[in-house]
Amino acid sequence: MAEANEQMEVQPPANEVSSGKNPLLTILVLVNTLMMGAIGYFQFQSHEKMKATPDIRDVVKAEMQKANGEEATGLEGSGQAQADDGILFPLDGFTANLAQGDGARRFARINLVLKFSKSSNEEEFKRRKAQIRDSIITILNSKRPEDLLNVQGKGFLKEEIKSSINSFLVDGSVIDVFYVSFQIN
């Protein structure tokens, strides 16, 4: 009986795991940690890049400051009159359905800045903002996606918007239309 007790004490229990570590598990933990670090780094870089892109308000503000700065200093050294003088009037973004084509329903998202002549009355723009937005949405509703996907179509849209707005303005006129963003879905 004493020999049976000695044999039992010498043998390790069957349910106990050996003290050696599994190298595969260690490698997987390291790879997972490295991947999480890389994903965090790329997300941080993407966020920094997005913070650096200018907003529509920043672009308009810079253009207005540039126009005011040129006005104060005059046309020194250029030798030419500048035709760019005007009042910039940013509009809120537009989302409008496009004309139905053969495929699925499509829509356009556009941010615009209108440039009015110096002789224009800024109060008139503010009073007619709803009318201006309505005319632009009406024009966009009549366009098919194929009409707006090329450069000529976008240029024609600018001319259409200018003539539509100028048809009901009393003081001044629209000189140019600037696309700040243009997306068709």
17-55 residue pLDDT tens? 555 678 899 999 999 999 999 999 999 998 888 887 777
**The pLDDT value given to residue 74:** 43
Statement: residue 79 has pLDDT above 50: no
Who wins on pLDDT, 110 or 17?
Answer: 110
Whether residue 18 is contained in a domain is answered as: no
**The pLDDT value given to residue 2:** 53
Question: Are 175 and 145 members of one domain?
Answer: yes
Q: How far is CA 66 from CA 53, 118, 157, 163, 179, in A?
A: 19, 15, 27, 27, 18
Mean pLDDT of the chain: 79
**The pLDDT value given to residue 64:** 77
Q: Which domain holds residue 34?
A: 23-53
**The pLDDT value given to residue 59:** 77
What mean pLDDT do residues 126-132 have? 88
Whether residue 1 is contained in a domain is answered as: no
Whether residue 125 is contained in a domain is answered as: yes
Question: Are 108 and 175 members of one domain?
Answer: yes
Instruction: Count how many Cα atoms sit within 13 Å of the Cα of residue 103 in the half-sphere of its side chain.
Output: 7
For CA atoms 99, 103, 104, 110, give the dihedral sign: negative
**The pLDDT value given to residue 80:** 42
Whether residue 169 is contained in a domain is answered as: yes
Which band of pLDDT confidence, cut at 50, 70 and 90, is reported for residue 145? Answer: confident
